[in-house]
């Protein structure tokens, strides 16, 4: 798989109009229409990716070069596996020498070259299980596309996803190799700037970004932190 060309753009598929069927809520009709008319959804099926989210990582990595051959990667909240697919390809992870470990409480079909832990990352023993799956090696990159199930209440959704972000960065602080990178989802809500300032003390470069594959109407942003300075915190 190559992520070098700009994917999801230039799509000329015909617009599909979805009628509201009996028993189907209007919100469900809107979701179905958005999926059917999303060029990234169509492209994911053609390219064999598990989800359109794969293109977010492709676009970010094409620009920021997080994933390099030989790197070890932890993918938090990895289901359905789109990010795992990209990570496996770009770090050249294999069945005999897996360098990508994903974790999620949801089921996920096997991604060849990755190790999958069906487990809630919020469990106390989850960090240790991840490190064991990496053979005791520290990861070069920690990825997190985790988001709490949305409630429709903007501030509540922001706070719940922020909590997941904070747990993800704590794992990264304790386990990343010096010089390592961290990429994670946050929702706009007023606290993301404070988080950036905190991370700037621990990483050489920190920024937030919104890749083209992220829907314009979505409140999601991604925080990217590179050049981990190291930590005195105990490992998990």
- Give pLDDT tens digits for 103-139: 999 999 999 999 999 999 999 999 999 999 999 999 9
Q: Is the pLDDT of residue 191 over 70?
A: no
Q: Is 18 exposed, middle or buried (0-12, 13-18, 19+ CB in 10 A)?
A: middle
210: containing domain: 50-228
In the block, tokens 């360098």 appear at: 99
First to last CA, the chain: 33
For 204, other C-beta atoms within 10 Å of its C-beta total 11
Q: How many domains does the chain have?
A: 1
> Does the annotation count 45 as an active-site position?
no
Phi–psi pair at 100, nearest 5 degrees: -120, 125
Which of 5-19, 20-34, 37-51, 90-104 has the lowest average pLDDT?
A: 5-19
10 contact partners, CB below 8 Å, separation of at least 6: none
Q: Is residue 192 very low, low, confident or very high in pLDDT (cuts 50, 70, 90)?
A: low
pTM across the whole model: 0.83
What per-residue confidence (pLDDT) applies to 151?
A: 77
Residue 24 lies in a domain: no
Whether residue 8 lies inside any domain: the answer is: no
In a domain, 42, yes or no: no
Instruction: Give Cα 146 to chain centroid, integer Å.
Output: 6
* DSSP H or E stretch at residue 142: strand 141-144
Give residues with Cβ within 8 angstroms of 153, minimum separation 6: none
Domain annotation covers residue 211: yes
Q: Which of 56, 99, 185, 226 is catalytic?
A: 185
CATH number, domain with residue 215:
3.40.50.150
Residue 60 counted as domain residue? yes
């Amino acid at each position: 798989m190559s992520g070098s060309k700009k994917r999801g753009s230039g799509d000329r598929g015909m617009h599909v109009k979805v009628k509201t069927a009996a028993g189907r809520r209007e919100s469900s009709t809107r979701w179905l229409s958005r999926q059917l008319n999303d060029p990234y959804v169509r492209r994911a099926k053609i390219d064999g990716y598990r989800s359109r989210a794969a293109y977010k990582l492709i676009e970010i990595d094409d620009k920021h070069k997080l994933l390099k051959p030989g790197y070890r990667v932890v993918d938090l909240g990895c289901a359905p596996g789109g990010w795992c697919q990209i990570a496996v390809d770009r770090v050249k992870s294999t069945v005999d020498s897996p360098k990508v470990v994903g974790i999620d409480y949801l089921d996920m079909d096997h991604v060849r070259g990755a190790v999958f832990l069906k487990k809630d990352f919020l469990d106390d023993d989850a960090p240790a299980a991840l490190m064991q799956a990496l053979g005791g090696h520290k990861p070069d990159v920690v990825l997190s596309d985790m988001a709490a199930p949305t409630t429709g209440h903007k501030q509540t959704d922001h706070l719940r996803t922020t909590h997941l972000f904070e747990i993800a960065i704590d794992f990264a602080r304790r386990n990343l190799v010096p010089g390592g990178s961290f990429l994670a989802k946050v929702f706009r809500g007023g606290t993301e700037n404070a988080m950036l300032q905190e991370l700037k003390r621990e990483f050489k470069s920190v920024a937030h970004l919104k890749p083209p594959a992220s829907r314009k109407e979505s409140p999601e942003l991604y925080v990217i932190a590179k050049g981990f300075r190291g930590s005195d915190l105990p490992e998990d």
